[in-house]
Structures are given as structure tokens and as C-alpha cells.
Structure 1
Amino acid sequence: MNRTNSIITLLFIVFSFSFQAIAQAQEKIDLLDLIEQLEAKFDVKFSYSGDELAQVLVSKPNKDASLKVVIAELNNATVFNFKFLTERYITISTINKVISICGVVISSTDKQPLFGASVVVKNTTKGTIIDKDGYFELTNVGINDTINISFLGFKTIEIKATHLRFNSKSCKTLNMDAQNEALNQILISKFLTTGLQKYIDGSTVLNTNKFGILPGLTDPDILQSIQALPGVESVNESIANINVRGGTNDQNLMLWDGIKMYHSGHFFGLISAYNPYLTNKVVVTKNGTSSEFNEGVSSTINMSTKNKITNTFSGGAGASLIHADAFLEIPLTKKLALHVSGRRSFTDVLNSPTYDNYFERSFQDSKLTTNSGDTSDSKSSSDFFFYDYTAKLLFDLNDNHKFRANIIGINNNLDYRESFKNSEDEKESKTSNLKQENLGFGASWNALWNTKFNTEVTAFYSQYNVDAIDYRVETDQRLIQANEVLETSIKLKTTFKVSNTINVLNGYQFSEIGILNATDVSAPSYDKTKKEVLLNHALFGEIEFNKNNTYLRVGGRGNYFQKFNKLIIEPRLNFRQKVFNRYAIKLQGEFKNQSATQIIDFQDDFLGVENRRWILANEQNIPISESKQVSLGLEYNYKNLVIDVEGFYKNVDGVTVSNQGFYNNFQYINAAGSYNAKGVEFLINKTANNYSAWLSYAYSVNNYEFKTLEPSVFPNNVDIRHSVSMAFNYDALSNLKISVGGVWRSGKPYTKPVEGNETVQDGNNTFVNYEAPNSENLENFMRVDASVNYNFNISKSTLGTLRAGVLNVLDRKNTVNRYYEVSQENSEKAIQIDNFSLGLTPNVSFRVQF
């Protein structure tokens, strides 16, 4: 018993001493009292504001600690900056106080790290990207700074730097909430490169604000960047001719802030017409499209600009060897802001080697080059420039009602002058002109009526014009051509959140589209104008379910064409099921239709530069195009390694001969038919903190079927059997990025003349006598590109970026098209004409952002 009491007494004594030691270690003291003690003890003087230090408690320092140790502890433990002016005088302030911060960012729903999220010190260019474990760290952060943590699809976090102060024990864990209105969450946060992400419904998102680097690019060119995706390419290297799973460019629905666009490329296809620096994200969907969207039987490319009002004035400007641009985000009040951007080429003032290469590529085989052999009697010259501009007005009545209004303008202008001596030996000159314009207006009202119900009303007006005045010196003839598209549309969309896992979307859309085509010839006098108008009423709806490992979106759209009294029903399906943790099965399907398509006249349209014009379906010789598509895929995703295999089958009915642009015996025949494309797409992508690499391969078979032609089945003009792309991005330093990659694909089909019988005569006309259509293939296409990106701070709030890129590093001469014409010297012979891709083309850009 005594022994037991002794043990209890001993434990009590040990516990008492431990408690006293802990209490002493944690004893707090008023900072002002501590300063008085330090002044008396060490004979020093502190300079400070009593109001700032009032009622601040600090841990009482060890009585044997030196003054420097105490000051170091105070610097580390408080928000104040203790600084020795001399050995006796010390200042205390919050000015220029810097700290180190760190944190771990995870999703609040599945607690997974948000790899690729952006961490930025507010009102500065200082920041970093969250790593694969969700961790970030920043040094030399101001004690009073605010930290912004943002991630596409999640609510932005704003937090004071002091709350993230680095210490030896742990870093604060931050939970990011997904946007309430989006069940379609991000599946892969860093896909191919920084700023490319993949949604759970299979669509790909390009976040231009966080865009990393891609081979050959000096700007985050929207339509160039999406060609990194398997199944998306341009067989003739032009972004005005993007082919998605074997489709033509006019089969891609392009939306800019809800406005339907009919024009895609500057320089007649070599540069995207959409300024990326106010474009917030681009969503590319190849299949399983939401029932909200109509048209675009091959794909949907949905571009959205920044949509948030901030209280900070910001912007940027830059220039390359082709153009200069600027953008501004201007807060007018707390509820009102204006975003503007503008870009213009200086090619009509200054010619660079990059411009020379672009000019030669864009205008080869046009009037500008085929008539370029100047003589003493005739000389020619040309001027070309382009520009685009955007403006967006943002007004938040309150948190629940938001109004937006925007405008976009795109313009390409080409002047071609010919001077010559007339029959009286007098000098005359004629100027031909080609102008391309797309002007769009849009407005929207988004209303959140309660936590479950949301409505959005959007409307747009889009006008596309291409006009040409062609003076033909040799015949003294003036040819005027015009193509105009006018479309207006209004859409009402409602979203009802049944639960955290189920959304229901419904809506109605009305659109009116009118297309005009006109031709006016002076000698002999001829004038023809044709205009078609079509009204479309549509109802759409879908249910979206997302829980645990299952994502399902089922919907439908009904389109009624008033002119034809025709109803088209379009079911849509998008399903993804995760299995065995690392694998997922994907099934997608859709029916879509399209009433506006392009016809192609390689011989005579618009100076031979722009040879496509929009036309409207009439359900006689030009039917409404209708597509049916299904795809099935398997995906592996583990530790930032993605392997994706997807097979697809697509049939598009209602294509015409004039829509496809044949160079064969069918070139001038009126016929309607279909094409079907089937194939497999493969992608392997590995990302890490400082590098990313990918390899994609696509195999497809694409055939036409025109029942009234012989043969009725033959290869599609864009039947590319094999296509491979690869790239490697490396962050050599935190501010230096390098990217190298390349593309290889089999050559596109073409038709050659019958050997020994190359031409045939029909009355007074002689034509090339072709073999079976598309029975030959061009040589394989191969191109290697490289680029480098260097960021640096010009000042605390201004970031500089220097980029350099080289397209076709090996200067390979790729043939992208081949056709034949009757020889002028010998009408029994056909001459071969080849169009070539860009040669070695360097470009440099410099940007500042503030």
C-alpha cells in the first residue's frame, strides 16, 4: 500500500512539473510590455506605432535568450517587421514584411488533389501551379497580400497570406467547392499541357489564361491548339479547314460567347480569327453533344470570354512578326465592367520573313501568283491586312441576376493592283479587292431564382460577308461577287437542380437564317442574285446524372423547319462508368442536323483566294445534312498517366458534290449523297510537375456514297488512313518552357488523268479526263515544330513574356493538294498543279501583362 502511494505521489510530482513547464512555455505577454522590458534589459530603443501594437499578445521569450534571438522569434511569430537600424535602434512596422506561404488544395467532394490549379498573389504576376499532390509553396509574399486560388469548374478561393504562413509543422489544407451549376466536372486537370483539361463527358477544355506551350506556337492560337487532339486535324494545314473525324470545316459549329460564327481564320486560314487573351475557355466536343446545341454535324467548338467582374484594372499587349494586339479589363463600378480587345496586322506596312511565307502559302495558285509574271506592259502588286476586335459589357444587378452584352468583329482585306498600257499607249491601272467580314452581337440574362432553379435567356445576331471586285485586264471585264449570311436567334434555357447528383435542362430556341449569293459581270452584261431564308423552331431537354463512378447525360432535341414543314428528332447520349478504380468505359452517341453548308468553286470564286461560299438547304438539290454518330471507348487514368482508346462510326447524309469540292469528272455534276467514317483513336499522355509528353494515333476509313454516280462508292477527299502526332514539353526553369513535337500522316487522296488519254473535248470546251475518283494518294505529310517560352517580371505588377516558335523545322516540302488543268500549249495534255505547305517559318512574339 505504501509502495502504491509512493508511486502515485511521484507521478503527481512529475505531472505537476510537466504542467508548469508547459504553462511557462506557453505563457503570453503583452507585446508593448515586452518591448519595455527589452528596452530596459538590453539598452535599446524601438520605434513603432502604439495603435498597431496595442492588445497584441506574444509568447514570453526565454529569459536567457539574446536580443537577436528574441527579435528573430518575433519576426517569425508576428505580422510585424522588426528591423535593426543600428545596434541600438529597432523599427517595428508592417511595411515590406514578407513571409513564406504553403498549402494543400483538394476537392471538397472527393478529397482528391487539384493538380494544375493556379495560385496567384492578387494584383501581382507572382504565382505558381499546384503539383500532383495538391501542394504549393511561395516565398517573399507580402504580409498583407491576398492569395487567389482558381481552378476551372471550381469556385475561386480568396485568402489572406497570413492564414497560409509556412511553419515547420504543417501547411493548411484548403477545400475547393465545385460550381453548383456544373455536374460535368473536370476529369483530367492537366491534359497534354497546362491549360488543357478534360471534362467527364469527354469534351476537351482549353483554358487560354493558363495555357502552357505547344510546339511551333507563339500564341495560344485556339484553332491551332485543338489540333493536338486525336481525330482533329487539317489536311491542308489551314485552320479554315479543320477536319474532325473526317468532316469538312463547315460541319464544325463555332460559337463565341453564344454567337454563331461563320468565319474562322485570318490570312485565309493560317491564323485563328479569335483573340485568345480575353477568351477564357474553349470547349471542344466531338460526340455526345448536349441537346442545347444544334448544327455542326462534326463537332462543336464553344468559345467563352471572361465572365467575372473584378475590382482590378488589368490588361496586356503584345506583338509578333505578323500582328500586334492589346486587351483591357476595366472595372467601371463594383457591378459594372468592360472588357475590350483588338488586334491588327501590320503586313500592309512591313513585310517580315514570316509574312512572306504566309503570303506565299495562302495565295499560291490564286490570281495573285498565277498572274505574277510582270512584263514591261503589265505590273502587279498587292496589299493585305487583317484585324479583329471584341467588347463585352458585364453588369451584375446582384448575385442572382447577371446581364452581359458583347460584340465581335473580324475583317480580312486584300487589294490587288494591275497597271498596264492601253491601246493608245497610255498607262492605266485596275484594283481588285477581296474583303471578308464577320460581325456578331450577343446579349444574355442569367437569373438564379433559388438554390435549385436557374434560367438563362440569350440572343445573337451574326452577319458574314465576303465580297470581291475582280478586274480582268486581259478581257477588260469586271466581275463582282458577294456572299452574305444573316442569322438571328433567341434561346431560353432552364436548369433545375433536383439534387446534388441530378440536373434537368430544358429550353426553346428560335433562329432565322438568310443567305444571299450575287454575281455581276460587266462584259457581257450579266446579273444574278439569289436569297434563301429558313426559320427553325427547336425544343430541347436532357437529364444529367453524376454520382460516384457513374456519369450519364440523356437528352433529345426536336427541330421544326417551317419552310419545309419538316420535323427532325435528335437523341443524344453521353455515358461514362468508372470500373476497377483506374479504368472507365465511355459510350457516346448523337443525331445532329445542319441547314447551312458551303459550296466550293476552285475555278472562279473571289480571285481564286477564297473559293467557298455559304448556301442554304432547299430540300431539292441541296438537302439538310443529317449525321448519326456512335463511339465506344476505354480509358486508363492513374498517377497522371492517361491512356485512351476510342472507336467511332459516323454517317453524314445530305452532302453534295459542290459541297465537297471535287477535282475529277464529277466536278460539275449536281448530286447528293453521304459519307461514312469509322476508325480508332489512341492517346497516351504522361504529365508531371515539370514536363508533359503525349503520343496520339488515329486510324480511319472514310468513303463517299453517291448513288447516282459511277462509281457510287469511293474514298473521301479527307480520307486520311493514318495520323500520328507527338510532343514533349519541358519546364527547364520555373520561367522557361520548351516544346518540341511533330505530325505525320498519310497523304490525302487525289485523282489523276487517264494515261495516254488525258483530255476530252465537249463541243468547244476541253476537259481533263480523270481516272477513278480519289484512287491515288499524295506523299506522306510530315512536319516537326518547336517553341520556347520565357517569362520574367518587368515590375511587381507587370509580367513580360518572350516566345519564339518555328514551324516545319526541317523545311520539308509537303504537298497538301494536287489537281490537273488542260495545258494551254497542248490541249491534249494535262498539267499537274501542286499546292505546298508552309516551309520553315520562324516567329517571335513579346507580351506584357499587368
Structure 2
Amino acid sequence: MKFRLIIIFCTVAICAQAQLQQVSGRITDKATGEPLPAVTVSVPGSRLSSSSNVDGYFMLSGQFPDPLLLRFSCIGYQTLDHHIQPGQLLNNLRIQLAANDRQLDSVVVSSVSPERFKLNQQTGMIRMDPKLIATLPSLGEKDIFRAFQLMPGISAGNEQSAGLYVRGGTPDQNLVLFDGFTVYNVDHLFGFFSAFNANAIKDVQLFKGGFDAKYGGRLSALMDITGKEGNKNAFNAGIDLGFLSVNGFVETPLGKKMSALVAYRRSFETSFYDKLKDQATIDNEHTNRTQGVGERFRGQSDVKSHFDDLNVKLTYRTDSKDVFSWSVYHGKDDMDNSTQAGGGSRLGNRLSSFFANTTDVASWGNTGTSLKWSKQWNTKLYSNTLVSYSNYFSERTNTLRSSITDSLGIERKFQSGAIEDNQLYDYAARTDWTWSITPMHQLGSGIQYNYQDISYDYSRNDTLKLINRQAQGHTTSLYLQDAWSLDDHRFHLVPGIRTTYFSPTGKWYLEPRLHGDYQLTEQVKLKGSAGQYYQFAKRVIREDLLNGSRDFWLLADDDRIPVSVSQQYSAGISWEDQLFLVDMEAYVKNMKGLSEYTLRFQPMGGTGDYADFFYEGTGKAKGIDFLLQKKKGKYNGWIGYTLAEVTNDYAIYGPDQFFASNDIRNEFKMVHNYRLGRFDLSLSWMYMTGKPYTAPTGGYQVTLLDGTKQTYLNVSAKNALRLPDYHRLDAAVTFNFGRSGKFNGALGLSFFNLYDQVNTWYKKFDIIENEIVETDVNYLGFTPNLSLSIKLK
């Protein structure tokens, strides 16, 4: 019986296909010639729709009227209606979309603001146009990560974090891809800015959960970034200048078939930079105080710090629809917080002189590159193949060397501090194929191979090795995904399966995926997703009660570091018309194999194998995201609200669950934009309930025979306390000048924390005369910033 039903179903599909037509082509930017991904192609008055792939190719099948009207719409671009008369060709169309520029000419200004983001068809997916975030309030420059943090279900965790905490997940649980290679370090300046230059980005898609079987290796979310290929029609250059950094780019055609883009950004030290730097390095001062013999002997610190990043991309297109591209990214931060101090002060009657110097230098960042070949073989078959390399590095030396000479001339030397070195190398190759079998049926498949080499060394006092781990591993993944369009295109269903072999454990891991949506009415849509996800390279939390947490990357081995797994479920409903969108999604995420490293439970006297202090736990995140958006018009914006709960369960901390450090129960955000002539006015306000934290309730220090100090603490229950609630108002004014397609630019003035709210970043604890002294470390107060952006076209 089942076999007959399958035959009948396939026969109906084939017969239906015979009565259908097919239209295909390629969509590009009218000004630059760059291909446009994720452009919606639809037939007005019907439910027929499709979207372009990363190379701008599209294919749409159905029973078309004659003549045919196709509508092309994309965020940041003017909607285009393309008429096809009877007898005209339906294949190999060349569609050009004009950008929805802020300036139309020297006098007339567009009265309709383009959408800054779009919730696409898939559950939990957000697409954002990097060109349209420049008017949002910012600390320094347009930042795609900061823009996403204004969306429901996504938070920064704190101001000093460009990473994304998505639906209860941590930043390391997000797969961040730039032109196909993985980026492990996503921030600059201790997290105040993201590592991605907006001038080098063409398109960003974020999946808050339920992403396709094509992707794997992370528990929480996916961010897929496509870099610009460079202007294919004419030379163009631009520069952004602010109180923090200078950012320049050049793009140009190289002959008829090749284009290039180079973008470089570097920070420079100003009073504004110093303000952020001092905020970021305040815990280094705390370290110096607790490790030295007294604040009065601590030297004056002149912290030197800077960051820079470079993007290069070359793209070559053949006449036979082959596309070859080479993309390179390098980003790095450097910090030198070393100090020197000395003197002849007398401590009591015994000490006559004291000298100390602190070495505190660090560098961290990411280098990545990919070589891609993609091809549209025909209207139904498309392939994308690439090889890539990524290297994450984080090195820090923070040691104190001191000597004390007593009145008898006897010198005693002391040394304390820590040295850390975390290196991650990721070599990958993958190929993905998409086959449109019928107008209602699309099949996707592929294979991916990764070789990862990860090491982490953590030493105290230059000699005591706490952690010394090095591991290599191979992962081989295969996936199959089946997309169906049913019930006259009302119902879209995408089941998928991914399986991965991980060499350190010698096991295969199965990851079923499913997402779909149903168009209940013309405005109302139901949607849902479910899936299982594994993570093999993970960032382990290292708890440090006095100085904050420090994290590091390791490779799982199912011994001390388990392979992590999550099951995600989400469901939602949305209502949308031409001007407004109301969207609501509920989600549940169950996580196992979480890891944490802490020395809180080490044996008395510091004995034991420090590698044994890795602990395994579980987690659960659940919540509801709500969004109300006015999409277009002189006034536009959105209101977002998230009600959520994130809990962890580690046996080492006791039998009860506790709230995770990133548990934010209520998160409310408002963004308002208004266009007044050449001026863009923007206002954003956010409110978040306080995050949980663990605090020492008592403690004492013991001076060991070698002169170092050992701290012993009594602590509260894990994350039993909460910081005060957080709220902040930001504003920005942007003046746009110049002419569209010619020399133009923008002058922006932004105000961070407009009403100077005092928000607590974290609690700092000192042990003074065997007593705990608590101090609030606060976020930035009122901070203005001025920026200038100029480009030729």
C-alpha cells in the first residue's frame, strides 16, 4: 500500500511538472555589478516565490500567467517589477537592482527608508544589510554585531562583548563563517567592537536556531557572512574616520572578468580610545594590587594597546558560469600593560627597599582564508566547493617580579603571575550541491572534512603547569537535505540529516533536522523547527572568582572534555503586511556535555593534578521572543522583548540547578529611526534584568615558603546573587551629503548612555587583612562620539 502511494505521488508530481514553466537568471547590483544573494523573486497575486543563491542565481517554477510579472525585492534595494511578454525567453534573465540610496541627487531625498533587516521564511532567521546600520547609535563605527544585539533573543551579555549570546547560548556555541571559513575570535578591544569590517561585508544571515543540516559543529546559532567581491564596473574607494579608528577600502575591476576588494582598519590612541581601554583593563589593575605587597608600591601603568584587521578578496568569473574567489582575513589585538616601580620606603623596622616590575603583554586574534569554486551547471544544478584555513591565537604573559632588601642587606626575590597560550588551527574542505528535481522538490547534499589542532598551556609562577593540553582530531561530515513545497506553495517542509565521524572518540554522531512553515492566510504564517546539534571544539569556562572568568578553546575527547550536544525546538507565528510585522517565537534548548574549569575545589595546600579540575554539566534554555516592526517610511523601527530562563546543572556545585551566568530573565529593546531631509535621527533604549554571579563570602591568604600567596575562599552558592538591573539610552544624528553614484558621505554624532546611567559590569573582590572587600566595577557613562564617512561612489 505504501509503495503504491509513493508511485501515485511521484506520478502526480511528474505530471504537474509537465504543465509548469520555469524562469531563471542572475541578479546583480546595478552600480557595482556584484551578485546579490537572498533576493526574493515572486509573482504578484500568487504564492510562487524563490530566492537567489550566494552567486545571485535564481530559479522559479510554476503555472505562470501570460504576460508574466516578476517582482524582485531585497533589503537595501528598490523593489523591481520585471515584465515578460508572450514569446520572450524565460531563462538566463539578467536583473539589476538599484540600491535604495540615502541621496537621490543634490536636492531630492528619498522619502521611504529601506528596511534595515528582514525576518526571512525560515524559523529564527534574520538577514541584515550592513550598509543600513550606519545610522544606528554606536560607540565608534558601524558594527554588524552591535546591530544584531538590538534584536530579540540576542544579547551581548555585557557592553564589553561583541559576541552574541543567542537564546541562552554562549558566543563559542555560534558558528561564525566568513566566506566559508570559520572565525573563532569575533571581537576587538576586549570586546567593545566586533572583528568584522562593515566595509568588507555584503550580506549577513543569522539563524537563532534550527539551522540547516548543511552546517554543523556548534550547539546554538549560525552567522553566515558573505564578503564583498568589489566593484565590477568602476574604481571606488572610501574612508571612515572616528575618535577610535580609521577604516579605508578600495574596490576595482581587474579586466572584464575579475574584481578586487581591499579593506583595512586600525585603531589609534585618543582620549576616547583611552577611556575604553581603561575600562577594559581595570581588572589588570586589580590583579596588580592583589599580587603586589601594597598599592603604594604599584608603578604607574601606561597601557599601550591597538587593533587592526585586513580583508582582501579576488573574484574571477568565466563565461561558463564558473566563479572563483579567494578571500583573506587577518585581525589582531595587542596590549602591553607592563609596569615598573621601585623605592626605598621602609616597611616596619626590617625592610629598607622594595623593587617590582610587572610584565603584562597579550596578543590575540584570528587569521583565515578560503579558496572557492562555484558553478551553475544548468538551471537545476548548482555546486559550491571550497578549501579553507583558520588560526585562532591568544597569548598572555602576566607576571610580577619583585625583590625586598632588608636592613642587613639580604635580598629576597618573589615571583608570581600566570602565562597562557591558546592556539587553534583548523583546515577544512567541503563541497555542497543543490539539485532542483522538480518545481516542488529541491535536494541538497554535501561532504565536509576538518582537521583541527588545538593546544592550551596555563602556568603559574613560570614553573607550575596547571593545564598543558594538546589534541588533534579529524571530523568528516555528510548531509542530505530535502526541501518540499506543497499545497499550492502554502506549505514548505525541509527535513534533513547530518552525520559526523570524530576521530578522537572514534564515533559517528547523527544529527536529524527539520524546519517548515505554513501560510495560513495572506498575512499569517505558522513556522517551526527541531534538530540535534553536536560541538567538538569548545571554549571552556575557567572560573576565577576574584578576577573574572577566563575562557580557552579545547578539543573534546570524551574523557575530561566531553562532546557537547543540544536538542532545539522552536515554534512561532507571524503577521506581516507592507508596513508592519508582528512576530513571536517560543523555543526550548536542552544541552549536555558542557564544560567548566575551576580551582575552587583543589585540595588544601594546592596539591593534586590540576588537569583533573575539568567538570561536566548540563544546561537548559527556554523563552519567548516577540517583535513588532514598522518596516518602511520616514519613521521606522522596532520593539523587541524576550522572556527567558537559562539554567545549568553541574554535580560539583551541588545537587540543585543554578542560573547560568548569561541568564537574563527580561530583555526589552526599542529602536526608533526618523528621516528629516538629509538627516537620519536614531534612538535606542534597552532594559535587562540583572545577571547572576557568584561571590566569596569569606577568605584568607597564606604566604608560602617561596614568598607567593595562596588564597582560600568560602563562596556563595553558584550564581546565587544577581547584579542590579541594566538600562541605557543611546542616540545618533547622521547628516548625509553628496550625490548618489558620485562623491558622497555622512557625518555622524552619537551619544552612548545619554542619561549617564550607572550600570554595574561586575563585582570585584579584594582580600584585605583577611576580609572580603566588595567594589562595583561599572560600565561606561555618558560617551559622545563623532564619525565621518566618505566614498567616491
Same fold per superposition (TM over 0.5) = yes
The answer to whether the aligner puts 1:383 opposite 2:304 as a matched pair is yes
Residue 513 of structure 1 corresponds to 452
Query: Mapping of 1:115-134 within 5 angstroms?
Result: none
**Residue 144 of structure 2 is aligned to residue 201 of structure 1:** no
- Please name the residue that 2:193 is paired with: 271
Task: Establish whether residue 560 from structure 1 lines up as the match of residue 501 from structure 2.
Answer: yes
SS of 2:215's equivalent in the other structure is: coil
Paired with 2:781 and 2:372, the residues of 1 have a C-alpha distance of 44
Identify if the C-alpha distance between structure 1 residues 477 and 621 changes in structure 2 by more than 3 Å, giving closer, same or farther.
closer
SS in 2 for 1:292: coil
Report the Cα offset of residue 337 of structure 1: 1.4
Task: Using the TM superposition, give the Cα deviation of residue 660 of structure 1 relative to its aligned residue in structure 2, in angstroms.
Answer: 13
- C-alpha separation between the residues in 2 aligned to 1:709 and 1:769? 13
Contact 2:452/2:473, CA 8 A, preserved across alignment: yes
Q: Which residue is equivalent to 1:635?
A: 574
- Of residues 521-530 and 643-652 in structure 1, the stretch that sits farther from structure 2 once superposed is 521-530
Residues 199-234 of structure 1: per-residue CA shift (max 9 Å, x gap): 111311111134463234663301101112111002
Report the CA distance between 1:284 and its aligned residue: 0.5
Asked if the contact 1:153–1:178 (Cα under 8 Å) also holds between the matched residues in 2, the reply is: no
1:91-490 correspondence runs (5 A): 108-110=42-44, 151=74, 194-202=115-123, 203-211=125-133, 213-216=135-138, 219-307=141-229, 310-347=232-269, 351-352=270-271, 354-367=272-285, 370-371=288-289, 378-421=299-342, 431-474=359-402, 475-476=414-415, 479-490=418-429
8 A Cα contact 1:635 1:645, kept in partner: yes
Q: Is the 8 A contact 2:670 2:686 kept in 1?
A: yes
Q: Deviations over 1:254-290 (max 9, x none)?
A: 1111110110111010011100012011110012201
Q: 2:676 aligns with which of 713, 732, 745?
A: 732
Q: 1:523 to 1:329 in 2, by over 3 A?
A: closer
Deviation of the 1:194 alpha carbon: 2.9
Query: Structure 2: 5+ residue runs without aligned partners?
Result: 1-38, 52-71, 84-88, 96-110, 345-351, 403-413, 605-609, 705-709
The answer to whether the 8 A contact 2:75-2:114 is kept is: no
Q: How many Å separate the matches in 1 of 2:621 and 2:185? A: 25
Deviations 1:519-541 (A, max 9, x none): 45666576974310111110011
CA shift for structure 1 position 403 = 0.4
Partner SS, residue 774 of structure 1: coil
Q: Structure 2 counterpart of 1:843, which letter?
A: N
1:804-830 deviations in whole A, cap 9, x for unaligned?
111111111111323545x222x2x32
State how far apart, in whole Å, the 1-side matches of 2:129 and 2:158 are.
Answer: 26
In structure 2, what is the equivalent of residue 133 of structure 1?
none
Measure, in 1, the Cα distance between the counterparts of 2:80 and 2:241: 33
Q: Tell me the SS of whatever aligns to 1:498.
A: strand
Name structure 1 gaps, 5 residues minimum: 1-104, 118-148, 164-174, 182-189
Query: Which secondary structure state, in structure 1, belongs to the residue aligned with residue 149 of structure 2?
Result: helix
* Distance apart, 1:245 and its partner CA: 0.9
In structure 1, C-alpha distance between the alignment counterparts of 2:176 and 2:600, rounded to whole Å: 22
The 1:242–1:523 alpha-carbon spacing in structure 2 relative to 1, beyond 3 Å, is closer
Q: SS of the counterpart of 2:172?
A: helix
SS across alignment from 2:629: strand
Per-residue Cα deviation, 1:577-633 (whole angstroms, up to 9, x for no partner): 11122211111112111111222335499xx69932111111012111101010111
| TM-score normalised by the chain length of structure 1 | 0.73
- In the alignment, which residue of structure 1 is the partner of 2:688? 745
Change (3 A) 1:660 1:535: farther
Mapped to 1, the partners of 2:356 and 2:723 lie a distance apart of: 43
Structure-1 residue corresponding to 2:723: 778
Give the 3 Å change call, closer, same or farther, for CA 377–647 of structure 1 in structure 2: closer
Q: Report the Cα offset of residue 562 of structure 1.
A: 2.0
Contact 2:515–2:530 (CA under 8 A) maintained in structure 1: yes
The alignment status of 1:614 with 2:556, answered yes or no, reads: no
Q: Which of the numbers 823, 830, 841 marks the counterpart of 2:772?
A: 830
**Which of structures 1 and 2 has the bigger CA Rg?**
1
* Per-residue deviation, 1:696: 1.1
CA 1:770 to 1:204, structure 2 compared with 1: closer, same or farther past 3 Å?
Answer: same
Equivalent pair of 2:182/2:390 in contact (CA under 8 Å): yes
Distance 2:40 2:442 in 1: 24
Larger displacement relative to structure 2 (635-644 or 217-226): 217-226
Could you report, residue by residue, the CA deviation over 1:641-661 in whole angstroms, capped at 9, with x for unpaired residues? 111111111111111232999
- 1:5 aligned partner: none
Q: Secondary structure at the match of 2:768?
A: coil
RMSD over aligned Cα atoms: 3.8
The amino acid of 1:740's aligned partner reads L
Q: In structure 1, what is the equivalent of residue 513 of structure 2?
A: 572
Change (3 A) 1:745 1:816: same
Post-superposition Cα deviations, 1:364-412, rounded to whole Å, max 9, x if no partner, equal 2224785599757833321111000010110112241110111100010
SS in 1 for 2:202: strand
- Partner residue in 2 for 1:694: 638
Query: Aligned with 2:366: secondary structure?
Result: strand
Residue aligning to 2:626? 682
Counterpart Cα distance in 1 of 2:527 and 2:112: 18
Highest RCO, 1 vs 2 (Cα 8 Å, sep ≥ 6): 2
The alignment status of 1:600 with 2:541, answered yes or no, reads yes
* 1:162-215 CA distance string (max 9 Å, x none): x9xxxxxxxxxxx9999999xxxxxxxx99973312211131111113446323
C-alpha contact 1:700 1:722 (8 A) present in aligned 2: yes
Question: What is the CA–CA distance in structure 1 between the aligned matches of 2:359 and 2:644, rounded to whole Å?
Answer: 46
1:655 aligns with 2:594: yes
Preserved contact between residue 365 and residue 835 of structure 1 (Cα < 8 Å): no
Question: 2:212 is matched by which residue type in structure 1?
Answer: S
User: Aligned pair in 2 of structure 1 residues 746, 719: CA closer, same or farther (>3 Å)?
Assistant: same
- Higher strand proportion, which one? 2
Q: Does the CA-based 8 Å contact 1:107-1:177 persist in structure 2?
A: no
SS in 2 for 1:268: helix
2:309 touches 2:329 (CA, 8 Å); kept in 1?
yes
Q: Is the 1:291–1:555 contact (alpha carbons within 8 Å) kept by the matching residues of 2?
A: yes
Instruction: Specify the code of the residue in structure 1 equivalent to 2:482.
Output: I
Aligned amino acid, residue 120 of structure 2: Y
d(CA) in 1 for partners of 2:599, 2:187: 19
Which range moved further: 711-720 or 807-816?
711-720
Number of matched pairs: 676
2:430 pairs with 1:491: yes
Kept in 2: contact 1:598–1:659 (CA 8 A): no
Q: Is the 8 A contact 1:368 1:416 kept in 2?
A: no
Q: 1:569 to 1:428 in 2, by over 3 A?
A: closer
TM-score by length of 2: 0.78
> How many angstroms does 1:834 deviate by?
2.9
Is the CA contact (8 Å cut-off) linking 2:572 and 2:583 kept in structure 1? yes
CA contact (8 A) 2:643 2:666 kept: yes
Does the 8 A contact of 1:592 with 1:627 survive in 2? Answer: yes
The 2-side partners of 1:320 and 1:763 are apart by: 49
Q: Distance in 1 between matches of 2:90 and 2:199?
A: 26
Match of 1:842 in 2: 784
Q: 1:303 to 1:519 in 2, by over 3 A?
A: same
Q: Cα gap change, 1:682/1:179 in structure 2, threshold over 3 Å: closer, same or farther?
A: farther
Over 3 Å counting, the alpha-carbon distance change for 1:212 and 1:419 in structure 2 is closer
User: For residue 392 of structure 2, what is the amino acid of its counterpart?
Assistant: Y
Q: In 2, Cα distance between the equivalents of 1:602 and 1:491?
A: 36
The equivalent of 1:32 in structure 2 is: none
Judge conservation of contact 2:252–2:261 (CA < 8 Å) in 1: yes
Q: Distance in 2 between matches of 1:191 and 1:516?
A: 52
Among 464, 473, 478, the residue aligned to 1:534: 473
Which residue identity lines up with residue 540 of structure 1 in the other structure? Y
Contact 2:41–2:73 (Cα < 8 Å) also in 1: no
Alignment partners' CA distance in 1, 2:529 and 2:662:
23
